[in-house]
Amino acid sequence: MSFTILCSFVIAFYVVIWFFDSFFKSCMHYPYYAFLDGTGLKVGILNFSWTTSAFNRFLYRWSKNLSRILRKWFTCGYVFTVWLFLPFALWTLLTFILEHFYDPIDIGSMPEIRGALPGVNIPVSDFWVYFLAMGMSSIFHELGHALAAAQEDVQLIGVGVYVFAIIPVAFVQLNTEHLNSLAITKRLKIYCAGVWHNVVLAFVAMLLFFSSPIIFSIAYESDIGVKVTSMSEGSPLKEVRGFNIGDVITNVNGCDIKNAKDWIRCLHEAHSRYGICTSAEFVAQNDEIMMETVKENDVVECCRKDDLYSLCFEYMEPKVVVDSVLPGQYSCLKPRDMVKNRLIKCTDQGGYSCPIGVPYDLHETVTVDQYFPRLSLFSFFSPSQFEKLLRYVFIFSMGIGFLNVVPCYGTDGHHITRSIIQIIAKYLNRNGDFVTFFTVFSVVVGTGVTVPIVIYVFYKEVYMYS
């Protein structure tokens, strides 16, 4: 399913919801409004939300039972967020701007910022894990706010979930008057609790990810290769051209593969170091090239479109010209036959540089699994699915924490910045105008920088994969 089809499906879904919502509001006015009020449901344009107060008493009781632990917990979160994570987020934004707008400056090892979009750079088949990881990250974020607020006796009005398109976002409604009446440091603990929870969740997900081979070693074998589990529809190495579902890969051009990490490393080494060299005799006997080659989207296709067994290969220019074959010529060959003939590797020492293709062709279009069940009973589930969820939880949790610590309008960073400025104003003995001016200035600058960067990041992802 493509990104366009996914968007069409989402739009159609919300059109149907909007139609029935409008129909019931006009035909069943009072009963329908009573139903919405009783359930906490609310339908909007490309969004719907659910709010409830059923968890308020539970959250309040839990926070009081763990009062001593949570007090220290949120104090650590306040110190970490203000003194470590906030400077890190600002540094990341600054280096991102410098890298993209000032080419002569070498930033070095700057963290890469990428947007995550299902159907674009995330397979639509991963939609369920995308939705689940986003929901978990958002809920854990708001749980931090709720527990920290209950710890300070701030009234919880309600909790709920807001879904915009396919993005779920949890939220907590607090009594604003109670919150603003607290001391500045207590308010900061509540504002920083969500970011703190996101960082902790991301750290736990990372630990579980790297520990999963040990955790699942009782039921699954690993470090014996990787197994092909699926291939995209447009994969150039699908079935007869390359792999079949269930094939076990232990080696790529002499590079041993024990796990998924080795798989990615060996693909890049194969691309940058060598390919497979054929003999002129093999090419003459097996070449099925068409009379005229076709060039589509800057890619030369010299095999028939209905040929499911062959791929188009280009002759690479030798460093030492000892062959009559010229670069720019093509041959249509069966890759499986080339491998079966145990042909020699083509290295720089032999005078050739023959990359086997872009690693994306294999890495992005062929899905592998490094876990092999010890018993058939465990074959219904693979730890790779759990690892995939952990990867998305780490990405989304860090992303939510990052966006909520930056001084951007409507985020936690807005309130965190205002509280920090209030502390500075109190220390410098300044009045409310000082706080208002620098709060507005910080939020305007933060919003003006963050929003264009987010738009640019997502636009770049859509443009790259379109």
Inside any domain, residue 379: no
Instruction: Return the DSSP state at 82.
Output: I
pLDDT of residue 206: 95
201 token code pair: 């969740």
Domain count, the chain: 4
pLDDT tens digits for range 407-461: 999 899 999 999 999 999 999 999 889 999 999 999 999 999 999 888 887 777 6
* Residue appearing with tokens 């952990």: 390
* pLDDT, mean over the chain: 82
Predicted pLDDT at 110: 46
The two tokens of residue 456 are 């640019």
- Same domain for 235 and 289? no
- Residue ranges of alpha helices (H) inside 152-232 are 176-180, 184-215
Which DSSP letter does residue 223 get?
S
Is-above-0.85 flag for pTM?
no
Q: Which domain holds residue 21?
A: 3-45
Q: Domain check: are 202 and 73 in the same one?
A: yes
Same domain, 336 and 454: no
Residues β-bridged to residue 164: 47, 167
**How does residue 330 score in pLDDT terms, banded at 50, 70 and 90?**
confident
Element spanning 256, H or E: strand 255-256
Same domain for 185 and 118: yes
Tokens for 331? Answer: 């041959």
Helix (H) or strand (E) holding 396: helix 383-405
**Residues 290, 348 share a domain:** yes
Whether residues 341 and 400 fall in one domain:
no
Say what the alpha-carbon torsion angle 437, 438, 439, 444 is, to the nearest 10 degrees.
90
Q: Would residue 50 count as lying in a domain?
A: no
Q: Give yes or no: residues 200 and 137 share one domain.
A: yes
Ramachandran region, residue 312 (left: φ > 0; alpha: ψ -120 to 50; beta: rest): beta
Same domain, 341 and 195: no
Dist. CA 167–CA 160, nearest whole Å? 14
In a domain, 461, yes or no: yes
Three-state secondary-structure class, residue 235? coil
More confident position, 160 or 337: 160
Residue 3 pLDDT class (50, 70, 90 cuts): low
In a domain, 51, yes or no: no
Identify whether residues 292 and 338 lie together within a single domain.
Answer: yes
pLDDT in tens, 4-30: 777 788 899 999 999 988 888 888 778
Residue 135 to residues 139, 168, 224, 374, Cα–Cα distance (Å): 6, 6, 35, 33
Nearest Cα neighbor of 252 from 280, 273, 238, 231 is 273
Alpha-carbon distance 133 to 362, whole Å? 26
64 and 139 in a single domain? The answer is: yes
Per-residue confidence band for 351, with pLDDT thresholds at 50, 70 and 90: very low
Tokens of residue 88, six digits: 């890190």
CB 119 within 8 A of CB 1: yes
Q: Please tell me whether residues 37 and 74 are part of one structural domain.
A: no
Query: With 70 as the cut, is the pLDDT of residue 234 above it?
Result: no
Q: Do both 38 and 155 map to the same domain? A: no
